[in-house]
Amino acid sequence: MTVAELLDKLSAPEPPLLIDVRPRPTVEAEPGIPAALHLSLDELAQRHGELPRSRDLVLYCACPADAASAQGALLLRRKGFSRVWPLAGGLDAWRASRDGVEPLGLMPVNGLAI
């Protein structure tokens, strides 16, 4: 999913759930997209059952070729999720698209036992 597609979906009545799959030390040192849920790939593998299957899930990372987010999306697809995508360009693409733009008011993650 491209950043433009994500921005379009974020204005929908039920926006996608954003999942930051970067390692925890990286997330603590460098915050990601506001309101994103942080689940490392290991946590994603263990806790996928807590994620909503009826909602779009967009995974992102900051690795070359979106490797971690693509791996996470593949893992979830193998677990039966059909509405899951890696964010093309990851966190860098998000930041580039938002440069000079007012912060986007994202909905907090509610009702998720994570």
Active site residues: 61
Contacts of residue 76, defined as CB under 8 A and 6 or more positions apart, other chains included, come to 44, 48, 51, 57, 59, 84
Which helix (H) or strand (E) segment holds residue 97: the answer is helix 90-98
Query: Helix and strand tally (H, E) in the chain?
Result: 5, 4
CB atoms within 10 A of CB 39: 22
Q: For residue 86, which of 58, 108, 62, 105 has the smallest C-alpha distance?
A: 58
